[in-house]
Structure 1
Amino acid sequence: MADEKTVLDYFLANVEKHGDRIWMTQPMGKDVVKTFTFKETLAEAKKVAGYINSLDLPEKSQIAICSKNCAWWVIADLGIWMSGHVSVPVFPTLTADTTSFTLEHSEAKLLFVGKLDEKPWLEQKKGIPDSMPTVSFPLSPKDSAKTTWEEAISGASPIETPATRTLDEMATIIYTSGSTGKPKGVMTSFRAMTISTIGMCKLLKVTDKDRYLSYLPVSHGMERWIGECIPMYSGEGIWFAESLATFVADLNRCRPTLFLSVPRLWTKFQAGVFTKMSESKLDTLLMIPLISTLVKKKILKGLGLDKVRIAGSGSAPIPGSLLDWYRRLGLNLQEGYGMTENFNYSHMSRLGRTRPGYVGEAYDDVECRIAEDGEIQVKTPGKMMGYYKNEEATKESLTDDGYVRTGDKGEIDSMGRLKITGRTKEIFKTSKGKYVAPAPIENEFVRHNLIELAMVSGRGQPQPYAIIQLSEGPKGTASKSEEERTKIAAELEKHLASVNGTLEAHEKLSFLAIIKEDWLPENGFLTPTQKIKRAVIEDSYEKHVEGWYGAKKKVVWYGW
């Protein structure tokens, strides 16, 4: 029956339907690409399944994949599923300790090692147990595994028939990239994956004519859904990005019709445009009817986004001014909201019904409510089966009537649009005994085009403060000239006064500390999905806070 099909079944149906059509395009370096048709993908995945079967692993074992996005990630996942096992993504930028925890906690019996950056990998590989069987993808670092891809698939017989998987079986364990504590393993069923995928494709009208560039971490639930499950279901073509340095070229190769990014990257795209044309000049040109049309087309084509029909942003709030800027170019960004625990199937903004500061409306088959304490709770087909080997945390995260506790606070307007107002556990108390919710204040600061990231703190202090990371363009100019820094400081002091004017007396910020050091997933300041790690940032700069207060300045420069 059609309603019993999993995403794997839909992929197999697309192999029958599209066979010799190219499905995946993989950059191999030096402008060389390798392509995989639907048939070639299935044939390679059957070899992987045959190799896994030759290992005689216990039934429904966990098998891990540690790699940046690439075609072999998808092939390995298919092979794991077709051999009857469960896949466990391992983020390719984790510390050795977290890598070790993920592999040991998940009881992984095999690890696929893939496309990885050399420096993070040298640290991460220290967390792989010596006893762990490992297989390397093509494009993986030299000598990264005990068995190469070629050795594995050439030495085993391909399976003839894929294992039958049911909707209620566990498909994967996704370890959360949370900003505090040990990761928790979110058990996700084929049902959660499949129903969420069908719902998204229905809303966005995704077809096999669409094209998608896969570059956000597929180890995370959101990209796994958008960049793997949706192409499996719809037959949409997948292109992979080679590196950050080649990103624009990768975009131009793909010419995606669906494109997903995070606010930080949407800001970088804008900054890149402003390096070639000043903001004031662009504003002027966009007001001239005929020239405006030509300018819009040129900018979007230069970004590789001229064919995009649906553009999305998620993971963090995006400033309304940035949404407006892209809309002026003809690119309507739709925001989304979700979490690993509900396979990100929660909310999405609808064209013509967007509202700045709101993440959209619940999907048609999703229910949302605000609990008495202000927490957002969601009942969704994407709901997790629970946390692996953590019954206590599962009970804390799921209500008795089937809702996922998000840990976010929010409010819903009259049109059903949801606004995130903070995290239930991030609220802190000042020395005056007043409580401050940092997230809404941070959101106000990142609306300014000079600011890329903001973290509000002040636990035990008389007034809060914010640590600021400048956006890419200003960061470069600020390091060169005292005059430029003075201009930026004046602009940010004005913005600080403006934001403070909207806050209660106990929430008003004493100062902004502008940090030169980059906050990245690689150095532990951000999660792999670009969210700030609040505790890490607070701990890193704690010893400087008293000095910043003592300087009695509205803008403090640190590390410059």
Structure 2
Amino acid sequence: MDTTNKLPLDMVYYWEKAKANSLYMTQPMGNGQVEEYTWKRAVDEARRMASYLKSLNLPEKSRVGIISKNCAHWIMSDWAIWMAGHISVPLYPTLNEDTVNYILKHSECEVVFIGKLDDWDMMKPGVPENVRCVSYPLSPPNDFETWEDLVAEFPPMEENTTRDPEELATIVYTSGSTGRPKGVMLSFRNMAFAATGGTEVLGVGPDERMLSYLPLAHVFERTFVELGSLYAGFHLFFAESLDTFVQDLQRAQPTLFLSVPRLWVKFQHGVLQKLPKKKLERLLKIPVVSGLIKKKILKGLGLDKVKLAGSGSAPLSHDVLDWYRNLGLELLEGYGMSENFAYSHMSKPGRSRTGYVGEAAPGVEVKISDVGEILVKSPATMMGYYKDEEKTRETFTEDGFLKTGDKGEIDKMGRLKITGRIKEIFKTSKGKYIAPAPIENRLMSHDAIEMVCVSGANQTQPHALVMLGEETRPKLADEAFRKNLEASFQDLIKEVNKTVDPHEQLAFITVVSDEWSIENSFLTPTLKLKRNVVEDAYQEKVDSWYAKRQPVIWQ
């Protein structure tokens, strides 16, 4: 089907008739049970929920929130909000009460859908008393009106609501590694352009299967999963929990699989715990055995049917990319932001280059500024920040390019390499500037390291804070294991220092005992490191670490 100039709701109405009885969503309900939604059923429930929203007589274009982990109801709510003439405001299911309160008040949400959550008690006090709540079937115990009762009570909305392409469709609050989240305003045109371009570039069609598990509140999942399935018409599966993730993957047998670097690294570490790196490398050199091993590993991960695997939201180390490619899974990196609905650059099969995030997607203009900043422009670029004209002005150049805040360079084939964040670059006491990201990528090649933060502003040389993988941490009680690990870190420093300029050479690695997580605010909801939080947590100890003059320090 030609999706040119088709808005999201146009696609909803199209599949409602074209694939009425085809399965669209498979939702785990616990205890091995699943609920299946045909296109007809999904659109019918959305139409009924839209009738309910209309019955509330809310002001025109009211904001309606969604606080839930990914599930079928999340997507149906989004459609219902649009059908009723309103604007959706997704919130991450891991936010604290203060941030929930800020977003709901800032966006002036009238209604909020409450879904599947791990810590509703923490979030609940952040919901203002005047906000009406509706609960999903899998939501925590509450006394709100329920989805089931409302769809049973209200008739389906009969008319096919049309929305203007330039109308505000959703406000996506950035997870923000610093300060208050900003409300990115995206129009129906922004969303349609990104979804159409993304499905065309990746060559996806109605026969794909995809597992939805990264937060739908983030544009990466929203563009390629919610809107991708809507524009290509493929089957969507949802994950039940981290504990059931492998079973969820094996149920879905995805043909498309997107993830973020931290999870790709976790998958790799899981394999290497069972089959050490050197042994695996030996086996992959034996012709007949090699093919069997690759199939067995990918099958064990539930990825043996994947024809297109992608990674985004942060850079992946060369070693991890090469490791997966050796298994026959060509991991394609992409690049985008909330501010352009994750539609900017994508690697293409057979044209990818390790360390690069691909070529500009169709309709995207890109240039590098005088200070090396990546500037992009396309019909997917946001309308601006909600209630913040000043910040909007600061984020655009005079000729309408979005300032990404990332430094980069472009090769002869038009592939983009991100060399660091402009704001992350720090200066040593010798007056030399250091971009931490490339050094962090090199350190991530060590299979015991799960996360790393290179720091050292106003010090003579930089240092690295590393968090070990969860499989490695319990083994530290074994003195021999710890000594071997320390020796390998010393070798790692020597290897990394050979590849960087003298002023970038690491003074030491500190192995931290803390776990950096979303819950303790060290990570954003999309598992990106909050650099300022990490640095502040260890600031008092840094001078004493430098004074020790040791290559490896255990915190």
Q: What TM-score results when the alignment is normalised by the length of structure 1?
A: 0.96
Q: Deviations over 1:11-62 (max 9, x none)?
A: 2111211101110000111111111000000111011101111111001111
Say whether the 8 Å CA contact 1:213–1:238 is kept in structure 2: yes
Q: Deviations over 1:75-103 (max 9, x none)?
A: 11111011111100011111111111111
Whole-Å separation in 1 of the counterparts to 2:307 and 2:356: 21
Whole-Å separation in 2 of the counterparts to 1:20 and 1:507: 60
Q: Deviations over 1:156-203 (max 9, x none)?
A: 333111321121111100000110011100000111111111111111
2:541 alignment counterpart: 544
Q: Secondary structure at the match of 2:9?
A: helix
Q: Secondary structure at the match of 1:4?
A: coil
Larger mean Cα displacement after TM superposition, 208-217 or 512-521: 512-521
Larger mean Cα displacement after TM superposition, 542-551 or 211-220: 542-551
2:520 alignment counterpart: 523
Say whether the 8 Å CA contact 1:51–1:158 is kept in structure 2: no
Whole-Å separation in 1 of the counterparts to 2:407 and 2:543: 31
Deviation (angstroms), 1:430: 2.4
Say whether the 8 Å CA contact 2:3–2:196 is kept in structure 1: no
Whole-Å separation in 2 of the counterparts to 1:286 and 1:162: 56
**Paired amino acid for 1:555:** V
Please state if 1:205 is matched with 2:203: yes
Please state if 1:375 is matched with 2:373: yes
Q: Deviations over 1:445-482 (max 9, x none)?
A: 1233222211111222232211111233323322x312
2:457 alignment counterpart: 459
Larger mean Cα displacement after TM superposition, 272-281 or 376-385: 272-281
Say whether the 8 Å CA contact 1:11–1:235 is kept in structure 2: no
Deviation (angstroms), 1:2: 6.4
Q: Which residues of structure 1 form unaligned runs of 5+?
A: none
Whole-Å separation in 1 of the counterparts to 2:149 and 2:138: 15
**Paired amino acid for 1:445:** L
Report % sequence identity. 53
Q: Which residues of structure 2 form unaligned runs of 5+?
A: none
**Paired amino acid for 1:250:** D
Whole-Å separation in 1 of the counterparts to 2:277 and 2:440: 24
For this pair of structures, how many residues does the alignment match?
A: 554
Aligned pairs (5 A) from 1:224-235:
224-235=222-233
Say whether the 8 Å CA contact 1:318–1:447 is kept in structure 2: no
2:530 alignment counterpart: 533
Q: Secondary structure at the match of 1:425?
A: helix
1:493 alignment counterpart: 490
1:253 alignment counterpart: 251
Larger mean Cα displacement after TM superposition, 179-188 or 2-11: 2-11
Larger mean Cα displacement after TM superposition, 408-417 or 347-356: 347-356
Whole-Å separation in 2 of the counterparts to 1:507 and 1:329: 33
**Paired amino acid for 2:108:** E
Say whether the 8 Å CA contact 2:5–2:192 is kept in structure 1: no
1:123 alignment counterpart: 122
Whole-Å separation in 2 of the counterparts to 1:506 and 1:295: 43
Please state if 1:80 is matched with 2:81: yes
Whole-Å separation in 2 of the counterparts to 1:207 and 1:529: 27
Say whether the 8 Å CA contact 1:4–1:166 is kept in structure 2: no
Whole-Å separation in 1 of the counterparts to 2:31 and 2:274: 26
**Paired amino acid for 1:317:** P
Q: What TM-score results when the alignment is normalised by the length of structure 2?
A: 0.97
2:398 alignment counterpart: 400
**Paired amino acid for 1:402:** G
Q: Secondary structure at the match of 2:321?
A: helix
Larger mean Cα displacement after TM superposition, 384-393 or 272-281: 272-281
Aligned pairs (5 A) from 1:155-554:
155-478=153-476, 480-554=477-551
Say whether the 8 Å CA contact 1:345–1:382 is kept in structure 2: yes
Say whether the 8 Å CA contact 2:13–2:160 is kept in structure 1: no
Say whether the 8 Å CA contact 1:19–1:39 is kept in structure 2: yes
Larger mean Cα displacement after TM superposition, 349-358 or 167-176: 349-358
Q: Secondary structure at the match of 1:455?
A: strand
**Paired amino acid for 1:28:** M
Whole-Å separation in 2 of the counterparts to 1:125 and 1:140: 12
Structure 1 residues 325 and 505, CA gap change in structure 2 (3 angstroms) = closer
**Paired amino acid for 1:262:** V
Q: Secondary structure at the match of 1:422?
A: strand
Whole-Å separation in 1 of the counterparts to 2:149 and 2:40: 21
Say whether the 8 Å CA contact 1:25–1:35 is kept in structure 2: yes
Larger mean Cα displacement after TM superposition, 354-363 or 34-43: 354-363
Say whether the 8 Å CA contact 2:449–2:469 is kept in structure 1: yes
Say whether the 8 Å CA contact 2:183–2:386 is kept in structure 1: yes
Say whether the 8 Å CA contact 2:408–2:416 is kept in structure 1: yes
Q: Secondary structure at the match of 2:496?
A: helix
Deviation (angstroms), 1:435: 2.4
1:31 alignment counterpart: 32
Whole-Å separation in 2 of the counterparts to 1:278 and 1:238: 34
Whole-Å separation in 1 of the counterparts to 2:367 and 2:456: 31
Q: Deviations over 1:480-510 (max 9, x none)?
A: 3121111111111111122122333332221
1:65 alignment counterpart: 66
Please state if 1:114 is matched with 2:111: no
Q: Deviations over 1:371-418 (max 9, x none)?
A: 001000011221000000000111111222221110000111111111
1:90 alignment counterpart: 91
The Cα RMSD (Å) is 1.4
